[in-house]
A and B are shown apart, each in its own frame.
Chain A
Amino acid sequence: MRPSANSATLDLRAPAATANGSATGIAIEVHDVTVAYHRKPVLWDIDVSIPAERLVAIVGPNGAGKSTLLKAILGLVPMASGSVAIFGRTLREARKFIGYVPQRESVDWDFPIDALGVVLMGAYGRLGWFRRPGRAERARAMECLVRVGMTDFASRQIGQLSGGQQQRIFLARALMQDARLYLMDEPFAGVDAATEHAIVGVLRELRAAGRTVVAVHHDLQSVQDFFDHVVLLNTRLIAAGPTREVFTTANLQRTYGGRLTVLDEAAEAVKHATP
């Protein structure tokens, strides 16, 4: 569980070497995972493999356990049963190679810190105990701000940024982690068009660099445009696979149940992209 400064022994960040000759390996293996809050199951017996080097959306209605699945993968919520392997390793071994973008509501935006300071926190895990970020980390943090188009706001107190700008700072902090696997909790929630564009650009860059991104996603309309792979979730796993095969009206109906307005939207979304 402890961050350590030494990461030279295992270079998990390089794209998966594939012994069997297939293009990519498995990034996350979720095995029989059940999570309950106060004895009420939020995730029930989830069994799913998430491929590496893909942009993966977790889709499902409110309360379906989407965020909880990310947190279970990260070890942030206790699992009643099951196990998770990341690139075939335990969470403890893989922790340094995971970047995380939590929901925006999870932090205190009045905190006395500027945008650059937040991005620098992405380096804390690698720095390990007691060591402070120095000039090298600052330079890298500025590069991360460039990638999300936020250089002009580096010294702005974070509460003074708009929602979309805050989201981009979170993304820059995750980039600072230089991870092989990114878990993002609704990165597109409530963002402006410029931010959406910036985030999509960064996600594609990450994929091109052999990284894996798993994002909780709310907007059914854009799933097919943004993501290669979909996990449909509603407490239980409904379906998982390449977007083209899995993102169908029938599967969405099973995911969202009788919620008609959502279903209409879903049907619209599917019709829209699959002729």
Chain B
Amino acid sequence: MDTFLTDLARLLSLQDANTRTVLLGTGTLGLAAGVVGCFATLRRRALLGDAIAHAALPGICLAFLVVGSRSFPAFMLGALILGAFSAGVIAMVRAYTRVKEDAAIGIVIGSFFGLGVVLSSMIQKRPGGAVAGLDGFIFGKAASMTSADAIATSLVAGACLLVVAALYKEFKALCFDREFAASQGWPAVALDLIIMALVCACTVAGLPAVGVVMVVALLIIPGAAARCWTDRLGVMLLLAGLFGLGAAVIGAALSATLPAPPGSLSRGWPTGPLIVLSAAAAFLFSAVFAPRRGLIARLLAHRTEIVAP
């Protein structure tokens, strides 16, 4: 317990450079993903984020094969290209087959992820392949984040937030009533593409920390939790950003300070999953205890609404 407290103190004082890096990278990512995720869910595009994330894995592998070393910018570029390609494939499957969107997304998630795993195991077995750290992208490996990675992540996150701040009104109109927005002359397709690009950017930026399997949770969960507390979009975005940031900080803090699991020699607490679990805890709490929209509030309201005739 003593070591836990000293660890916590050291963490909170931000003395440790590695802790600072992880907190900066995951915190800004959590903030941006929470905000961008609100629009993705309101526009019913959240699962597309999952497809983009899974398609990023083969993108990263291909980038490694091209560049030949572990390069964050190259990985991000590869992830972005394949992520965007997967979104295009989903649109094509929908347009040219009788497959519905959810099934199309399922097809893309599975096949691109399969391709990614095959490529990464192929690379790992090659001499020098292990340095790529490709398996770290599947479940995330925040601890291996370099300060350059963290700065790149926070720049991407900052850019996403700026775009949302600028296009808040336009996104709101599009997500609420696409047809009306189009009737006013707003370019609905272009705005949709911008939202997709933001989802793509947050997803890819989140891969090193949270991994392809869980990164979509950072987009969806904070917004879902925030929606329980408010009926106003502006407040929802703010809360979602704070939940994302909070989950990232708490998850990173837990992984840095939790005592080692019994019987194990090293601390093996993975940061990414702890971040996602922190967000899930925030959602669970919100869904149960939020006033008016929470489970308890609705049960109580239901009970009092029934009046004797």
Known contacts being A106-B177, A106-B179, is A112 close to B232, with CB within 8 Å? yes
Tell me, yes or no, whether A25 is within 8 Å of chain B by CB: no
Residue of A nearest to B188 (CB): A76
Which of chain A's residues 153-189 have a Cβ closer than 8 Å to chain B? Answer: 157, 173, 177, 183
Size bin of chain A's contact surface? 35 or more
Is B176 within 8 A of A118, CB to CB? yes
Residue of A nearest to B226 (CB): A112
Question: Chain B residues near A117 (CB, 8 Å)?
Answer: 232-233
Q: Mark B155-198, 1 if CB is under 8 A from A, else 0.
A: 00000000000111110110111111111111100000000000
Q: How many A-B residue pairs have CB under 8 A?
A: 87
Is A125 within 8 A of B187, CB to CB? no
Our pick among A96, A102, A113, A118 for the contact of B185 (Cβ within 8 Å) is: A96
Which of chain A's residues 45-98 have a Cβ closer than 8 Å to chain B? Answer: 71, 74-76, 92, 95-96, 98
Of the candidate stretches A13-21, A126-134, A214-222, the one touching chain B is A126-134
Is B180 within 8 A of A112, CB to CB? no
Is A132 within 8 A of B180, CB to CB? no
Bound-complex Cα distance A127 to B184 (A): 11
Bound-complex Cα distance A102 to B180 (A): 7
Is B166 within 8 A of A95, CB to CB? no
Is B231 within 8 A of A114, CB to CB? yes
Which of chain A's residues 217-265 have a Cβ closer than 8 Å to chain B? Answer: none
Known contacts being A106-B177, A108-B42, A121-B176, is A74 close to B231, with CB within 8 Å? no
Is A124 within 8 A of B184, CB to CB? yes
Distance in angstroms from B155 CB to nearest chain A CB is 22
Is B176 within 8 A of A107, CB to CB? yes
Is A121 within 8 A of B180, CB to CB? yes
Bound-complex Cα distance A129 to B177 (A): 17
Question: Chain A residues near B170 (CB, 8 Å)?
Answer: 124, 129
Residue of B nearest to A70 (CB): B183
Is A1 within 8 A of B176, CB to CB? no
Tell me, yes or no, whether B236 is within 8 Å of chain A by CB: yes
Tell me, yes or no, whether A201 is within 8 Å of chain B by CB: no
Tell me, yes or no, whether B230 is within 8 Å of chain A by CB: yes
Question: Chain A residues near B233 (CB, 8 Å)?
Answer: 111-113, 117
Known contacts being A2-B185, A132-B169, is A100 close to B180, with CB within 8 Å? yes
Distance in angstroms from B237 CB to nearest chain A CB is 9
Question: Chain B residues near A75 (CB, 8 Å)?
Answer: 182
Is A112 within 8 A of B169, CB to CB? no
Is A113 within 8 A of B169, CB to CB? no
Tell me, yes or no, whether A190 is within 8 Å of chain B by CB: no
Our pick among B168, B176, B187, B231 for the contact of A2 (Cβ within 8 Å) is: B187
Question: Chain B residues near A177 (CB, 8 Å)?
Answer: 184
Tell me, yes or no, whether A3 is within 8 Å of chain B by CB: yes
Is A125 within 8 A of B231, CB to CB? no
Bound-complex Cα distance A125 to B173 (A): 10
Bound-complex Cα distance A133 to B184 (A): 15
Distance in angstroms from B291 CB to nearest chain A CB is 14
Our pick among B42, B168, B178, B186 for the contact of A3 (Cβ within 8 Å) is: B186
Residue from the set A95, A98, A121 with the largest chain B CB neighbour count within 10 Å: A121
Is B184 within 8 A of A3, CB to CB? yes
Known contacts being A108-B176, A121-B177, A132-B169, is A113 close to B182, with CB within 8 Å? no
Bound-complex Cα distance A106 to B42 (A): 14
Bound-complex Cα distance A177 to B173 (A): 14
Residue of A nearest to B183 (CB): A100
Is B230 within 8 A of A112, CB to CB? yes
Distance in angstroms from B242 CB to nearest chain A CB is 16
Which A-B residue pairs are the 8 nearest by beta carbons?
A125-B184, A157-B231, A100-B183, A107-B177, A95-B185, A3-B185, A112-B233, A74-B183
* Chain A contact residues, CB within 8 Å of chain B: 1-3, 71, 74-76, 92, 95-96, 98, 100, 102, 106-108, 111-114, 117-118, 121, 124-125, 127, 129-133, 157, 173, 177, 183
* Chain B contact residues, CB within 8 Å of chain A: 42, 166-170, 172-173, 175-187, 227, 230-233, 235-236
Question: 9 A-B Cβ contacts within 8 A?
Answer: A76-B182, A96-B185, A106-B179, A111-B175, A112-B233, A121-B172, A125-B184, A125-B186, A130-B169
Known contacts A106-B179, A121-B176, A124-B169; 6 additional CB pairs below 8 A are A3-B186, A108-B42, A112-B232, A124-B170, A132-B169, A133-B169
